Homo-oligomer: A and B are copies of this chain.
Amino acid sequence: MAEPWVNSAERIGSDLYLELSGTGSRRAVLIRALRDAVRDGRLAPGTRLPPYRSLAADLGLARNTVADAYAELVAEGWLTARQGSGTRVAERAAPPKPVRTPKPAPARPAAPAYDLRQGRPDPASFPRTAWLAAARRAVNSAPGDAFGPGDPRGRVELRQALTDYLRRARGVRVAPERIVVCSGFAHALRLLYGGSHGAGGPVLRGPLAVESYGLGFHRGILEDAGVRTVPLELDEQGARIEELTAGQDVRDVRGVRGVRGVQDVRGVLLTPAHQFPTGGPLHPARRAAVVDWARTSGGLVLEDDYDGEFRYDREPVGALQGLDPERVVYLGSVSKSLSPAVRLGWMVLPEHLVDGVLAAKGEREAWAGVLDQLTLADLIASGQYDRHVRRMRQRYRRRRDRLVAALAEHAPHIAATGVAAGLHAVLRLPPGTEASATKAAAWQGVALDGLAAFRHPRARGRGADGLAAFRHPRARGRGADGLVVGYSTPSEHAYGAAIEALVRALPPGDSGGGADG
């Protein structure tokens, strides 16, 4: 009957806060304090009280005083004492007075049966065992200073491991002194643009060109920081870099003028390895062109290498940063490769930005957990990170193949594009069918987003968005309709059913479309 004390949070040795104030003998004050604690819920029914000697020592009272107070409260019915179980708050004691009942949390939509939203690695695949083994090695071997205030650059162990890894696997030109660790891509954007009102000001200033399709979450961070974003249209070769130099005079193939203001930008944020979400790599000529633009204009390229590790059919696309480490900021994180639960990312910075970013971070590490940093460093240096990435690459490739095969069989009129890499594909839809397709998917229990959810609000009109790769053959000026299908999130056993549900939601075919992979 008696619970073993080792399983109780309120067991011997626990801290107990008591308000010992007011008039009367010490015993009376203590009794009142204990009663209050029971009444207002700080001591819940069933809670075991500390032994006399422990509480007496804590409060600077005689043991007898505490023993007398306990006995009195047992007599009054507030407490119970039983041999072997110690003194506990009686079950009949007043229930805790709650904090004023909070509003119910804003209703979160019920979890969908099948989660095909992009951007979430398979949560069931987190390498728990490897992570814990790395944590054990890292924490046990950490020098004492690891437990003091952290270096805002990040632990040197992690910066060294990242240097080796990014050079080898991504072609980044990097030294540990150029890396600043942060808690993820969003944090990096805030450090770069979310400047202070104080002396230093922000590290970078807008306006900033961004791809006309991308994460609204990121655009929101920039706009919250007062940075105007200017959409750069996409075509089959990726972002139209030439708009940066041509400015207002640029006209696309259909004679539509370029976006106002794009010639004023001081930087451009790109996803060169795998455009998010449309899925193609930036054409080599454009890679060179954007670096030329940065050199000529004094501008900067921000390279979001969010899923560069995951490529399936084509040669790896190295980091753009390798072309000019002084004009490109390289940004990465573990959010896709491991899990967004591990809040770690990194910036590889041109020399002239290092001091500014460190000033923005402040004197001490205020965000990125040091034990996680050491653990990740061990995971990379021991080769377990590579091993995990490789395993996940195989798993995601198989899922990608199953998606493509299911479409070929059941919906041959729907083309899956952007499938050579990454954790998602884009299904091109007949014009005007995107909204109804996402609605149909929801009916099938499938959560996913249409392309429209990623479109920059100031992108040019649907008829002029230049997204040639996404213009349906029959679109004739209506623009891109598509579904962004993340294939990494469902569990292995649910994936087949998720694809079946997705296929049921797709608009019916006709003779006008053709499949292409």
The one of B102, B124, B145 in contact with A177, judged by C-beta atoms closer than 8 angstroms, is B102
Chain B residues, CB < 8 A from A223: 197-198
Chain A residues within 8 Å of chain B by Cβ, number? 117
Task: Tell me whether A383 and B8 are in contact (CB under 8 A).
Answer: yes
Chain B residues, CB < 8 A from A99: 173-175, 178, 325
Chain B residues, CB < 8 A from A197: 223-226
Residue of B nearest to A184 (CB): B366
Task: Tell me whether A42 and B168 are in contact (CB under 8 A).
Answer: yes
Chain B residues, CB < 8 A from A371: 131, 341-342, 372
Task: Tell me whether A147 and B102 are in contact (CB under 8 A).
Answer: no
Chain B residues, CB < 8 A from A62: none
Residue of B nearest to A349 (CB): B102
Beyond A135-B135, A144-B124, whether A368 also contacts B343 by CB under 8 A is yes
Chain B residues, CB < 8 A from A369: 183, 341-344, 369, 372
Task: Tell me whether B341 and A148 are in contact (CB under 8 A).
Answer: yes
> With A and B bound together, what is the CA distance between A512 and B323 in angstroms?
71
Task: Tell me whether B139 and A131 are in contact (CB under 8 A).
Answer: yes
Which of A140, A147, A177, A325 has the most chain B CB within a 10 Å cutoff? Answer: A147
Chain B residues, CB < 8 A from A339: 147-148, 370
> With A and B bound together, what is the CA distance between A164 and B370 in angstroms?
27
Residue of B nearest to A146 (CB): B341
Give 1 or 0 for each of A370-391: 1 = CB within 8 Å of chain B CB.
Answer: 1110000000111100110110
Residue of B nearest to A311 (CB): B58
Chain B residues, CB < 8 A from A150: 340-341, 343
- In the complex, whether A10 has a CB less than 8 A from a CB of chain B is yes
* A347 to B: closest C-beta gap in Å: 14
Residue of B nearest to A322 (CB): B19
Chain B residues, CB < 8 A from A47: 168
> With A and B bound together, what is the CA distance between A120 and B178 in angstroms?
28
* A279 to B: closest C-beta gap in Å: 19
A contact patch SS: loop
Task: Tell me whether B387 and A13 are in contact (CB under 8 A).
Answer: yes
- In the complex, whether A410 has a CB less than 8 A from a CB of chain B is no
Task: Tell me whether A491 and B224 are in contact (CB under 8 A).
Answer: no
Binds B, one of A313-321, A446-454, A502-510: A313-321
> With A and B bound together, what is the CA distance between A336 and B41 in angstroms?
27
Beyond A9-B382, A99-B174, whether A17 also contacts B186 by CB under 8 A is no
> With A and B bound together, what is the CA distance between A261 and B146 in angstroms?
43
Beyond A146-B341, A167-B41, whether A315 also contacts B60 by CB under 8 A is yes
- In the complex, whether A257 has a CB less than 8 A from a CB of chain B is no
* A251 to B: closest C-beta gap in Å: 31
> With A and B bound together, what is the CA distance between A355 and B103 in angstroms?
10
Residue of B nearest to A143 (CB): B123
Chain B residues, CB < 8 A from A344: 369
Chain B residues, CB < 8 A from A314: 60
Task: Tell me whether B341 and A168 are in contact (CB under 8 A).
Answer: no
The one of B14, B124, B167 in contact with A42, judged by C-beta atoms closer than 8 angstroms, is B167
* A1 to B: closest C-beta gap in Å: 21
- In the complex, whether A43 has a CB less than 8 A from a CB of chain B is yes
Chain B residues, CB < 8 A from A309: 15
Task: Tell me whether B123 and A217 are in contact (CB under 8 A).
Answer: no
> With A and B bound together, what is the CA distance between A305 and B131 in angstroms?
33
Which of A42, A100, A187 has the most chain B CB within a 10 Å cutoff? Answer: A42
Task: Tell me whether A168 and B16 are in contact (CB under 8 A).
Answer: yes
B-facing residues in A404-449 (Cβ within 8 Å): none
- In the complex, whether A92 has a CB less than 8 A from a CB of chain B is no
B-facing residues in A302-360 (Cβ within 8 Å): 309, 313-316, 318, 322, 325-326, 339-344, 351, 354-355
The 8 closest A-B pairs by CB, nearest first: A196-B224, A341-B370, A15-B169, A123-B147, A102-B177, A197-B226, A198-B224, A126-B147
28 residue pairs from A and B, CB less than 8 Å apart: A8-B383, A9-B380, A9-B383, A16-B169, A20-B315, A21-B284, A42-B171, A43-B168, A60-B315, A102-B175, A102-B177, A103-B351, A105-B177, A120-B148, A121-B147, A123-B148, A124-B147, A126-B147, A128-B140, A148-B340, A148-B341, A150-B341, A196-B224, A197-B225, A198-B223, A217-B363, A339-B370, A343-B367
Question: Contacts A120-B148, A128-B140 given; 12 further ones with Cβ under 8 A?
Answer: A9-B382, A9-B386, A14-B168, A14-B386, A17-B171, A19-B171, A41-B167, A98-B175, A99-B178, A99-B325, A100-B351, A197-B224
A→B interface (CB under 8 Å): 6, 8-11, 13-21, 40-43, 47, 58-60, 98-100, 102-103, 105-106, 120-121, 123-124, 126, 128, 131-132, 135-136, 139-140, 142, 144-150, 161, 164-165, 167-171, 173-175, 177-178, 183-184, 186-187, 194, 196-198, 217, 220-221, 223-226, 284, 309, 313-316, 318, 322, 325-326, 339-344, 351, 354-355, 362-372, 380-383, 386-387, 389-390, 489, 491
